[in-house]
């Protein structure tokens, strides 16, 4: 039986024997938040945890990856209007990330990766990366199963490039991972089509804007889940795992400081 690569499953004496400065600790971060009438609150957590587990399973030995238990609650207050959403304030999440960084700095590992399944966390995680670098000397990184479309990631043309929450991609992934949690009879297209004519002020445009999910209607999703399928979800899942495998290879080889070279 293969030795575990889940850090929490180690016994205390094993830590120093199995982790070293080249080890990469992976912290999945999800959310517990509404995802429209068709997807469960656990959507982001399910995707982040499952993708992270598969990445560590496939590439852990090659790149010395170690998986932490996932964070189920994060900064989801754009969905605070919906009962059942459980969210942390920005201040609380930053404090939690600082605590995690401090604890990882107490291990032999020097690399910490936040594998983020909820786009609402991304800005804070970038802030945390720099704070943990400064405070604890860790090498810190932010990855996603897929970079959200409103943050420059790939977008589905069927959703006018604006399927950011509970749409085609997420619905397909959950249909692949946990079809029992999806109610496709409740899935409806919901997109701010009036924004598609904008060059700048739109999801994925050059001018971000503050928004709440119920700004776009009472269902709280932004996308077209009616186009989703388990087959598409499997393709998205496999692509995410393969892409993250490449990212982990570069993370494992990365180091600082980098001395500039002159002509």
Helix (H, G, I), strand (E, B) or coil at 87: strand
45-56 residues labelled b (16+ CB within 10 A) or e (exposed): bbbbbbbbbbbb
Confidence at residue 93, expressed as pLDDT on a 0 to 100 scale? 98
Spatial separation of the C-alpha atoms in residues 68 and 96, rounded to whole Å: 14
pLDDT tens-digit profile of 187-224? 999 999 999 899 999 998 999 999 999 999 999 999 99
Spatial separation of the C-alpha atoms in residues 151 and 191, rounded to whole Å: 17
257 upstream amide cis, omega within 30 of 0:
yes
Spatial separation of the C-alpha atoms in residues 171 and 169, rounded to whole Å: 6
Query: CATH classification of 7-204+212-253 is 3.40.50.10310, yes or no?
Result: yes
Confidence at residue 1, expressed as pLDDT on a 0 to 100 scale? 62
Spatial separation of the C-alpha atoms in residues 144 and 153, rounded to whole Å: 10
**pTM (two decimals):** 0.96
Mean residue pLDDT across the chain: 95
Quick count: other Cβ atoms within 10 Å of Cβ 205?
15
Domain locations along the chain: 7-204+212-253
């Amino acid at each position: 039986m293969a030795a575990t690569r889940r850090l929490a499953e180690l016994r205390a004496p094993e830590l120093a024997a199995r982790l070293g400065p080249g080890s990469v600790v992976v912290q999945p971060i999800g959310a517990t938040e509404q995802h429209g009438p068709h997807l469960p609150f656990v959507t982001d957590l399910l995707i982040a945890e499952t993708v992270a587990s598969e990445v560590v399973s496939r590439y852990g030995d090659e790149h010395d990856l170690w998986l932490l238990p996932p964070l189920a609650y994060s900064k989801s207050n754009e969905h605070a209007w919906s009962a059942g959403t459980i969210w942390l304030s920005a201040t609380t999440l930053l404090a939690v990330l600082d605590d995690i960084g401090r604890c990882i700095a107490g291990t032999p590992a020097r690399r910490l990766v936040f594998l983020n399944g909820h786009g609402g966390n991304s800005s804070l995680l970038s802030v945390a990366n720099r704070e943990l670098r400064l405070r604890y000397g860790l090498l810190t990184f932010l990855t996603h199963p897929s970079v959200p479309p409103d943050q420059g990631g790939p977008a589905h043309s069927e959703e006018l490039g604006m399927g950011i929450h509970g749409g085609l991609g997420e619905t397909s992934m959950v249909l692949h991972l946990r079809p029992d949690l999806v109610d496709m009879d409740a899935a409806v297209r919901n997109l701010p089509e009036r924004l598609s004519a904008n060059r700048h002020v739109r999801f994925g445009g050059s001018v971000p804007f503050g928004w709440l999910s119920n700004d776009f209607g009472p269902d709280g999703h932004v996308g077209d889940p009616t186009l989703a399928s388990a087959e598409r979800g499997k393709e998205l899942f496999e692509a995410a795992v393969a892409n993250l495998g490449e990212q982990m290879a570069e993370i494992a080889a990365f180091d600082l400081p980098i001395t500039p070279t002159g002509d």
